[in-house]
Structure 1
Amino acid sequence: MAIRPSARWRTRVDEEATELASGTRLPSDAFLAELFPESLLVATDGALHAFESEVGTLRDQDDGQVFEAVKRVVLALNEINEDHDGAGYETEEREQLCLYIDQLLTESGIDVPTLAARRGISRTEITDDWRDW
């Protein structure tokens, strides 16, 4: 099952906080709470939850419906990134978000490579029309 990137990020932040509290990590080596502020985690989690719910309602897996769902989540993530001064999602986070979108669609029975091919793109490009991050 696809795990939301925001859940993974929260786990890393929590682990770092535990290490700081126990003294096994120096404050000068701590950066995850700044990289993943609570506002970013909550907003990203909400956008991905909405995407999961929408994908779960797709009955006929019509290409248009699938791409509309992808468009909505990408636009929501664009807004979240902008709300964090355009730095909410760095390269690794962008890759994780795109992979999550692909995995969730695949787990929902959507053949992502075929879906993308019908649009003349590769599976790694399904977010590109709308993605600013």
Structure 2
Amino acid sequence: MVSRPPENWRAWMAQVARDVEAGILEPDCAGAAEMYPESLLRATDSALEAFEAEVRGLLEPTDDEVLGAVERVVLALNAVDGDASHGGAGYCTEEREQLCEYIDLTLGEHGVDVAALAARKGIDRAEIADAWRDW
């Protein structure tokens, strides 16, 4: 199973905390962990869980069904990214790349040939989420 990006972000925050405690990083570096407030992590996890469930339920899906699932998760992630309740935190370049890779890998894990789908739609594989993505 593909690891969800919030798992990676939580692991990074834990490592930063350990490094500060061990004296490897200065305490002022620990503030970087605030870029992932728990509300952002939970909301992102929720959107990705719904995507996983939808993709699991697709049996011999059409391109439109797959792209519909991608659209729904991207729109959900747009809402998470734009939600002011996260204290201004949102997805930056690295997080965006991880989320797009996660979508691609999750589809592939469930039997979708993402490269072939993208080719049929005349887009690059890396652009599968771009039509709806605000982040």
Q: What TM-score do you get using the length of structure 1 for normalisation?
A: 0.91
1:90 aligns with 2:105: no
Q: Deviations over 1:45-73 (max 9, x none)?
A: 11111111110000122111101100010
Flag structure 1 segments of 5+ consecutive residues without an equivalent.
none
Q: 2:68 — aligned with what? A: 68
Q: Percent identity?
A: 56
Flag structure 2 segments of 5+ consecutive residues without an equivalent.
none
Q: Deviations over 1:1-36 (max 9, x none)?
A: 311111000111122223334444321122332111
Mapped contact 1:55–1:69 kept (Cα < 8 A): yes
- Give the CA deviation at 1:44: 0.7
Q: Helix, strand or coil for the counterpart of 1:30?
A: helix
Q: 1:53 — aligned with what? A: 53
Change (3 A) 1:98 1:132: same
Mapped contact 2:107–2:114 kept (Cα < 8 A): yes
Change (3 A) 1:85 1:126: farther
Q: 1:37 — aligned with what? A: 37
- Size of the alignment, in residue pairs? 133
CA distance in 2, matches of 1:73, 1:90: 17
- Which amino acid is 1:97 matched to? L
Q: 1:78 — aligned with what? A: 78
1:112 aligns with 2:106: no
Report the more deviating stretch, 47-56 or 11-20: 11-20
Change (3 A) 1:6 1:15: same
Q: What TM-score do you get using the length of structure 2 for normalisation?
A: 0.90
Q: What's the RMSD between the two structures over aligned residues?
A: 1.6
CA distance in 2, matches of 1:90, 1:98: 12
CA distance in 1, matches of 2:88, 2:132: 15
- Give the CA deviation at 1:127: 0.4
